[in-house]
Chain A
């Protein structure tokens, strides 16, 4: 009877957003929209350059490159995989190979092969995390370092330049006035959103992150689902890296540094739970928009770089703290 009583006594752990006060409820749902509006308002006050189409397109383009990674990273957090720290390696893999292989096999096959190899790194991450059970931080850090090492060795540690102007034109071009990179990001975000919210794989991902053993006992292939999140992230960062390489027409091995941090920041600020089981692609993208706009406004406002880092750091700690507080609210 004791255990039974404990079961009843224990309260719904994952029950965020239902037990809090109304203010918490509203803030957690629409808080980001308010924050984005506030940043835009502030931006238009401090800098006349903010609301120009040039600036906004710039923000949008750079946001798109990170955004593709964010879509993948959302899966990793939702499935309860903490974070994928091999992103710099998979981005470098995508960028360097999609440029470096151009002379040998042509731009499109180079791009596809680059993304495929990035996916392979993700598969290794996934096997280690999902099947072997290694802590994701350690596994992705280790595999990322190895992957980056191999890529660096393959190109001799130098900068690789593009050799196919047509592909550069395409990546930097526009379709219906919208940069191609932005369109690709939107397509990937839509696909990611569909998979996470409408497909059985997405439901499995949420269930695995929400309660691993219950998902396992419900015949969900939890190991594969967990591994899959890392493959998805690696493919996304491969694409992201490829596009980055094509846009810049040059790629050095450390090209992807910092992207893992930006992506994790965006997902966490978007309110996706760091312990899994809760979150969506649109939420993560809202987080991304907020962080990118904030950074942009700070740059325009002349805020010095160390202060920018300071602000972003506070933001990520604040978001994680909020996540923890909301979960605690669910408990007590």
Chain B
């Protein structure tokens, strides 16, 4: 393939390695001027990493990038902006207290050294908004606009910089159908102006509607680039999930007993609504869906880290009221959080101090922590979960991700819960530790524990779980038996191609 003159972007052989993880592996990705090029893939397929390489946030480990035919090297986002590459992020990155015009020209305000030429700025912003067909007053305070209007301002901001390449990351996630149609008109206009548009989305229907070409990423590799005419949604899903069946995680059979944790019609008012499921002793219930579907929010609310506005939670048949994690622990619920660094470990403390944290009071007499109980708990945990290095006094931040995760699980098992919620328990751990963690979960359910496992990894969900709940936009499907499911069906439920 030669570099065509109409080639806006040509990324060749891009790899990006983080310590322990290969996020991108030899990815080729080319976009032509005057086209909309969609990028699709599962959570963690490498879309965000690729875009962060493109906008200069990450330096690639290897590979070359050509913009408009010339090879470039970008060290920071400002370099990418200087080359005419603009990103519109999924979450809004604007200043609510400034006006629309000020936001559009933020960082590039007209006027030299001293005074802003405010009138000029407002006129220019009005022209841009008008060109995009967005009926927004440039003098309005941004915070007074609806989320979808703010999204348009974000796009106007990128457009006003007269970019050659615009990257839109899930731009429709906060838009209604009507607004999406308006956005598409704008995108087509920008395309006709000759701008290269990279469109990242989980919504395959929209991809089929707007894109000229589509590239599928999976597990950090580029799978295929095709013209949109030659592909349908089912084929895309197959390309997104179809991996070798090399990592299967068989669950050891456990006797399934009576219901342990039951949630009924719970809502938090914003992030999820009307979620119901139950999990029984000896059972692993999978909770899956796309990032942002509300899975973690459900888990945090059950554990008392955020409030429920509706619905009930019961443990072992008794309804419980949970307003704080310590009440959840008392009720017999434990939660291993998704963000291990942020919510899982206290990095400055030792393995021992981390493990005993939730049950310190039980280990104390007259306020004093029993040294022997504290130390023997740590020693037992280190041994039971083969945490390496096997030294309870080791600072937990010095451990590998997998061993930190084992310590976090050990911490919660010390509290002897009857139901355990694991949020992405194997994310970011290597294959060996992953197998160990699956083994530990298997032992727990064999011992009669009820486990809820949140995971984005479909092979893991299908390999480990007895039943699966798929969430989309804050709503949960009925629990589906493993035998009823395939990766394609879960993906279809998660993206809304199939409604449960």
Residues of A within 8 A of B (CB): 1-10, 12-16, 18, 194-195, 198-201, 203-204, 206-207, 210-211, 213-221, 277-278
- Least Cβ–Cβ distance between A25 and chain B, in angstroms: 14
Best-surrounded residue of A14, A204, A216, A217 (most CB of chain B within 10 A):
A217
- In the complex, the answer to whether B20 meets A8 with C-beta atoms within 8 Å is yes
Q: Mark B31-73, 1 if CB is under 8 A from A, else 0.
A: 0000000000000111011001000000000000000000000
Instruction: Provide the bound-state CA to CA distance between A91 and B346, in Å.
Output: 34
- In the complex, the answer to whether A200 meets B364 with C-beta atoms within 8 Å is yes
- In the complex, the answer to whether B23 meets A5 with C-beta atoms within 8 Å is yes
Within 8 A of A (CB), among B351-400: 353-354, 356-358, 360-361, 363-364, 367-369, 395, 397-398, 400
- In the complex, the answer to whether B343 meets A213 with C-beta atoms within 8 Å is yes
User: Given that A18-B395, A200-B369, A204-B360 are contacting pairs, would A7 and B341 also be in contact in the complex, using a CB cutoff of 8 Å?
Assistant: yes
> Other CB < 8 Å A-B pairs besides A18-B395, A199-B364, A217-B337, 6 of them?
A1-B428, A2-B48, A198-B369, A211-B345, A217-B303, A277-B346
Q: Number of B interface residues, CB 8 Å?
A: 54
Q: With a CB–CB cut-off of 8 A, which chain B residues contact A9?
A: 18-19
Q: Mark B289-324, 1 if CB is under 8 A from A, else 0.
A: 000000000000001010000000000000000001
- Least Cβ–Cβ distance between B162 and chain A, in angstroms: 29
- In the complex, the answer to whether A5 meets B21 with C-beta atoms within 8 Å is yes
- Least Cβ–Cβ distance between A197 and chain B, in angstroms: 10
- In the complex, the answer to whether B347 meets A15 with C-beta atoms within 8 Å is yes
Q: With a CB–CB cut-off of 8 A, which chain A residues contact B401?
A: 4, 7-8
Q: With a CB–CB cut-off of 8 A, which chain B residues contact A214?
A: 342-346
User: Given that A7-B428, A14-B348, A15-B348 are contacting pairs, would A218 and B357 also be in contact in the complex, using a CB cutoff of 8 Å?
Assistant: yes
- In the complex, the answer to whether B395 meets A200 with C-beta atoms within 8 Å is no
- Least Cβ–Cβ distance between A227 and chain B, in angstroms: 15
Instruction: Provide the bound-state CA to CA distance between A235 and B173, in Å.
Output: 52
Best-surrounded residue of B19, B21, B346 (most CB of chain A within 10 A):
B346
Query: Does B328 interact with chain A (Cβ within 8 Å)?
Result: yes
- A18: nearest residue on chain B (CB-CB)? B395
- In the complex, the answer to whether A7 meets B45 with C-beta atoms within 8 Å is no
7 nearest A-B pairs in the assembled complex, by CB-CB distance: A4-B428, A12-B397, A14-B348, A5-B18, A1-B44, A200-B360, A5-B21
Best-surrounded residue of B18, B46, B363, B411 (most CB of chain A within 10 A):
B18
- In the complex, the answer to whether B21 meets A4 with C-beta atoms within 8 Å is yes
| 27 A–B contacts from the bound complex (CB under 8 Å) | A1-B23, A1-B46, A1-B219, A1-B220, A2-B23, A3-B428, A5-B49, A7-B341, A7-B427, A9-B18, A13-B347, A15-B348, A195-B367, A203-B353, A207-B357, A211-B342, A211-B345, A211-B346, A216-B325, A217-B343, A217-B344, A218-B346, A218-B357, A218-B358, A218-B411, A219-B415, A221-B326
- Least Cβ–Cβ distance between B345 and chain A, in angstroms: 6
Best-surrounded residue of A3, A211, A216, A219 (most CB of chain B within 10 A):
A219
Instruction: Choose among A194, A199, A204, A217 the residue that contacts B325 (Cβ–Cβ < 8 A).
Output: A217
Instruction: Choose among B342, B367, B428 the residue that contacts A201 (Cβ–Cβ < 8 A).
Output: B367
- A278: nearest residue on chain B (CB-CB)? B348
Best-surrounded residue of A8, A16, A211 (most CB of chain B within 10 A):
A8
- Least Cβ–Cβ distance between A204 and chain B, in angstroms: 7
User: Given that A12-B398, A15-B398, A207-B346 are contacting pairs, would A3 and B325 also be in contact in the complex, using a CB cutoff of 8 Å?
Assistant: no
Query: Does B329 interact with chain A (Cβ within 8 Å)?
Result: yes
- In the complex, the answer to whether A2 meets B46 with C-beta atoms within 8 Å is yes
Best-surrounded residue of B49, B361, B428 (most CB of chain A within 10 A):
B428
Q: With a CB–CB cut-off of 8 A, which chain B residues contact A18?
A: 395, 398
Q: With a CB–CB cut-off of 8 A, which chain B residues contact A211?
A: 342, 345-348
Q: With a CB–CB cut-off of 8 A, which chain B residues contact A195?
A: 367
Q: With a CB–CB cut-off of 8 A, which chain B residues contact A16?
A: 348
Query: Does B340 interact with chain A (Cβ within 8 Å)?
Result: yes
Instruction: Provide the bound-state CA to CA distance between A214 and B335, in Å.
Output: 11
Residues of B within 8 A of A (CB): 18-21, 23, 44-46, 48-49, 52, 219-220, 303, 305, 324-326, 328-329, 335, 337, 339-349, 353-354, 356-358, 360-361, 363-364, 367-369, 395, 397-398, 400-401, 411, 415, 427-428
User: Given that A8-B21, A199-B369, A219-B325 are contacting pairs, would A3 and B427 also be in contact in the complex, using a CB cutoff of 8 Å?
Assistant: yes
User: Given that A7-B341, A14-B348 are contacting pairs, would A217 and B49 also be in contact in the complex, using a CB cutoff of 8 Å?
Assistant: no
Instruction: Provide the bound-state CA to CA distance between A221 and B427, in Å.
Output: 28
Instruction: Choose among A2, A8, A15 the residue that contacts B395 (Cβ–Cβ < 8 A).
Output: A15
- A198: nearest residue on chain B (CB-CB)? B368
Best-surrounded residue of B49, B305, B335, B348 (most CB of chain A within 10 A):
B348
Instruction: Provide the bound-state CA to CA distance between A216 and B344, in Å.
Output: 10
Instruction: Provide the bound-state CA to CA distance between A221 and B358, in Å.
Output: 10
Q: With a CB–CB cut-off of 8 A, which chain A residues contact B325?
A: 216-219
Q: With a CB–CB cut-off of 8 A, which chain A residues contact B343?
A: 213-214, 216-217
Best-surrounded residue of B337, B345, B349 (most CB of chain A within 10 A):
B349
Instruction: Provide the bound-state CA to CA distance between A306 and B340, in Å.
Output: 50
- Least Cβ–Cβ distance between A116 and chain B, in angstroms: 21
Instruction: Provide the bound-state CA to CA distance between A278 and B348, in Å.
Output: 8
- B20: nearest residue on chain A (CB-CB)? A8
User: Given that A1-B44, A200-B360, A200-B364 are contacting pairs, would A6 and B18 also be in contact in the complex, using a CB cutoff of 8 Å?
Assistant: yes
- A195: nearest residue on chain B (CB-CB)? B367
Instruction: Provide the bound-state CA to CA distance between A10 and B404, in Å.
Output: 14
- In the complex, the answer to whether A4 meets B367 with C-beta atoms within 8 Å is no
Instruction: Choose among A7, A13, A210, A219 the residue that contacts B328 (Cβ–Cβ < 8 A).
Output: A219
Instruction: Choose among A1, A14, A203 the residue that contacts B360 (Cβ–Cβ < 8 A).
Output: A203
- Least Cβ–Cβ distance between B265 and chain A, in angstroms: 25
Instruction: Choose among A2, A15, A206 the residue that contacts B397 (Cβ–Cβ < 8 A).
Output: A15
Q: With a CB–CB cut-off of 8 A, which chain B residues contact A215?
A: 346, 357
Instruction: Provide the bound-state CA to CA distance between A2 and B305, in Å.
Output: 25
Q: With a CB–CB cut-off of 8 A, which chain A residues contact B347?
A: 12-15, 210-211
- Least Cβ–Cβ distance between B374 and chain A, in angstroms: 9
Q: With a CB–CB cut-off of 8 A, which chain A residues contact B341?
A: 7, 10
Q: With a CB–CB cut-off of 8 A, which chain A residues contact B353?
A: 203, 206-207
Q: With a CB–CB cut-off of 8 A, which chain B residues contact A15?
A: 347-348, 395, 397-398
Instruction: Choose among B349, B356, B358, B411 the residue that contacts A206 (Cβ–Cβ < 8 A).
Output: B349
Instruction: Choose among A13, A14, A199, A219 the residue that contacts B326 (Cβ–Cβ < 8 A).
Output: A219
- Least Cβ–Cβ distance between B428 and chain A, in angstroms: 3
Instruction: Provide the bound-state CA to CA distance between A200 and B364, in Å.
Output: 7
- Least Cβ–Cβ distance between A49 and chain B, in angstroms: 43
User: Given that A200-B367, A201-B367, A207-B346 are contacting pairs, would A1 and B45 also be in contact in the complex, using a CB cutoff of 8 Å?
Assistant: yes
- Least Cβ–Cβ distance between B300 and chain A, in angstroms: 9
- Least Cβ–Cβ distance between B421 and chain A, in angstroms: 11
Q: With a CB–CB cut-off of 8 A, which chain A residues contact B45?
A: 1
Instruction: Provide the bound-state CA to CA distance between A219 and B304, in Å.
Output: 9
- In the complex, the answer to whether A5 meets B428 with C-beta atoms within 8 Å is yes
Instruction: Provide the bound-state CA to CA distance between A81 and B325, in Å.
Output: 22
Instruction: Provide the bound-state CA to CA distance between A15 and B341, in Å.
Output: 13
- Least Cβ–Cβ distance between A157 and chain B, in angstroms: 42
User: Given that A18-B398, A213-B342, A217-B335 are contacting pairs, would A207 and B349 also be in contact in the complex, using a CB cutoff of 8 Å?
Assistant: yes
Q: With a CB–CB cut-off of 8 A, which chain B residues contact A278?
A: 348
- B430: nearest residue on chain A (CB-CB)? A8
Q: With a CB–CB cut-off of 8 A, which chain B residues contact A210?
A: 346-349
